[in-house]
Amino acid sequence: MATNSPQQGGQEEGLELATSEKSRSEEDLGGSASKLEDRSNEPGLMDDSEQRAPVQGGVPVVEEKKVDVPPNGGYGWVCVAAVATINAHTWGLNSAYAVFLAHYLANDVFAGATPLQYAFIGGLSISQALVVSPIATFATRIFGTRTTLLIGVVLETVSFIGASFATDIWHLFLSQGICFGWGMGFLFVGSVGIAAQWFSTRRSLANGCCAAGSGLGGLIYSLSAQAMIRDIGLSWAFRTLAVIAFFANTIAALLIRDRNKQVGSQLSFDYRLFKKVEFLGLLTFAFLSLLGYVVLLFSLPNYARTIGLSAEQGSIIGAVLNLGQAIGRPPIGYFSDSVGRLNMAGSMTFLNGLFCLVIWMFAKSFGVLVFFSLIGGMVAGTFWATVAPVTTEIMGLIDLPSALSITWLVLVLPTTFSEAIGLEIVAYNGGTYTGAILFTGWMYIGAAVFLWLVRAWKIGEMEARAAAAGKSESEIEPVAAETADGSATSFQKSPFVKRMFKWEKV
């Protein structure tokens, strides 16, 4: 039968190996029937010790080792829906801070508070989610995924209830900034790797659907938060959002099932990854992407006000941006599986930088700004739609938790200060957003360049593995556990510059 995929090829090789082992076993046992199947090199093998059955009729019988293969569907789609729900009520809810920020800046809600302080609250909510990631990862290993998620539910609910009673700016720092960030961090870290465990060939599509939840949640909450603030006031808006988020996140947390035991033991923080140049390239891509993303996410509603639009129109602009993210992330994931995950992430990140420089720069009317928000939103969150599958592609499933934990810590700096940097640039330019728009666009383009460098490295690594295995590059599974042996030591990779312009599904 013809081999349709590298995974099927690996299964056939395992069957051939099983046949040879069986024949040798029969000779050793004097023709007795013995069964042995060795697939130790196949991805997803459980780290189980070999179990032997009792001797039957004087003949020892060797049991088959259990092999874990991602279901690539099934209950995994329930987990995708649950993770998307969590994203909607964490990152999506956090996106509505753009509406809160515009309200704070337009009204003297907290006496003596400055625009810079309000900007830091939005940055804190994201950065604290990333600061707490090693603790959340450790909690997942010790207490399990569900407990970690429920801790996040409690913290997020408490944060909004606390914010509803805030009377000074530092109350808001502690509640809407730090506490909400911690809750979002526990929920995010506990759920971000779930889809990758359930899927193989559909991994990017599943992750894109998960990430779309944040866009859909941002769309809903950007419109509803503005209406709540107008109709029931700021305090009751916080309390209403707390109740909604509590029930939605709790139900989703109870539905999620992880596959940590099948994947194998993992380190929550492995400093040795810093020695890998490809990982440093990924970190730079993430750092620059978030510098641009946070400014874009939180600035559009206030930018709308600077060009003469109303608060309601500003909230619509923020909602349309999140609608674009909800629409754009699943296709990014879908085409990542067919075109290549690094190819898609790099090209879409570059495209968003281009949109900022040629469309947002000249958006001076409501219609043009809506257009930019929609198409820019479709590619603005490319990092979040591709971070798990791209990191898996480069680092592998075993190193994925550690690599993501380090990534979240590195992203604390850009997420904390990017919106503050944006507002300072606006103030320096006399209230115009021209400098902030240039900053955002070039950060996205710089991120795309660094990811393309990592892509060139990945092509070279696949060339070496293909030479070692005696296969073509298209037959090599990017995330497979194959390693180059001594036969590849004399192999010469193609020049790095050539790999930069070489088309390969990566």
The confidence band for 242, taking pLDDT boundaries of 50, 70 and 90, is very high
Given 234, 265, 296, the domain boundary residue is: 265
Residue at 7 is within a domain: no
Higher pLDDT, 398 or 436: 436
174's tokens: 């502690």
Say if residue 223 is in the same domain as residue 370. no
How much of the chain, in percent, has pLDDT values that exceed 90? 37
Do 242 and 277 fall into the same domain?
no
* Residue 281 shares a structural domain with residue 232: no
Helix (H, G, I), strand (E, B) or coil at 132: coil
| Number of independent structural domains in the chain | 2
Asked if residue 418 and residue 276 are part of one domain, the reply reads: yes
* Residue with the larger pLDDT of the pair 14 and 457: 457
Q: How many Cα atoms within 13 Å fall on the side-chain side of residue 404?
A: 33
Residue pLDDT, tens place only, 423-451: 899 989 988 999 999 999 999 999 999 99
Clarify whether residues 190 and 301 are in a common domain: no
Q: Is residue 413 part of a domain?
A: yes
For residue 39, being part of any structural domain is answered with no
Decide if pLDDT at 239 tops 60: yes
Last residue of a domain, one of 241, 265, 289: 265
Residue 61: what residue type?
V
* Full domain range(s) for residue 179: 68-265
- Asked if residue 162 is part of any domain, the answer here is yes
Query: Do 417 and 279 share a structural domain?
Result: yes
Say which range, 31-35, 122-126, 284-288, 290-294, has the weakest mean pLDDT: 31-35
Same domain, 451 and 303: yes
Same domain (yes/no): 465, 343: yes
Q: Is position 479 within any domain?
A: no
At residue 264, what are phi and psi to the nearest 5 degrees? Answer: 115, 175
Q: What is the DSSP string of 412-446?
A: HHHHHHHHHHHHHHHHHTTT-SHHHHHHHHHHHHH
Residue 364 has pLDDT above 50, yes or no: yes
Whether residues 312 and 454 fall in one domain? yes
Has this prediction a pTM greater than 0.95? no
Model pLDDT, residue 464: 82
Interval 163-191: pLDDT, tens: 999 989 999 999 999 999 999 999 988 88
Whether residue 425 lies inside any domain: the answer is yes
Residue 21 falls inside a structural domain: no
Q: Tell me, what's the pLDDT at 473? A: 59
Q: Give yes or no for residue 257 having a pLDDT over 90.
A: no
SS (H, E, C) 145-196: HHHHHHHHHHHHHHHHHHHHCCCCHHHHHHHHHHHHHHHHHHHHHHHHCHHH
Q: What average pLDDT score do residues 24-44 get?
A: 40
Residue-wise pLDDT for 144-161, tens only, equals 889 999 999 999 999 999
State how far the Cα of 371 lies from the Cα of 365, in Å rounded to an integer. Answer: 10
Confidence of residue 15 (pLDDT cuts 50, 70, 90): very low
SS (H, E, C) 209-233: HHHHHHHHHHHHHHHHHHHHHHHCC
Confidence of residue 360 (pLDDT cuts 50, 70, 90): very high
Question: Which residue is associated with the tokens 């190996």?
Answer: 17
Same domain assignment for residues 346 and 252: no
Residue bearing the bigger pLDDT, 466 or 253: 253
Q: Which of 331-361 are b and which e, b meaning 16 or more Cβ less than 10 Å from the residue's Cβ?
A: bbbbbbbeebbbbbbbbbbbbbbbbbbebbb
First to last CA, the chain: 27
Q: What is the pLDDT of residue 344?
A: 93
Instruction: Point out the domain boundary residue: 265, 283, 311.
Output: 265
| More confident of the two residues 107 and 22 | 107
Q: In this structure, is residue 455 part of a structural domain?
A: yes
The pLDDT > 70 percentage for the chain reads 80
How many helical (H) and strand (E) elements, i.e. helices and strands, does the chain have?
A: 22, 0
CATH number at residue 300: 1.20.1250.20
pLDDT tier for residue 392 given thresholds of 50, 70 and 90: confident
Residue in 135, 136, 160 with CA at minimum distance from that of residue 148: 136
Which of 142-146, 198-202, 358-362 ranks highest by mean pLDDT? 358-362
Distance CA(425)–CA(419), nearest Å, equals 10
pLDDT at 68: 58
239 and 92 co-located in one domain: yes
Give the tens place of pLDDT for each residue, 447-481: 999 999 999 999 888 888 777 766 665 556 666 54
Mean per-residue pLDDT of the chain: 81
Pair (368, 384) in one structural domain: yes
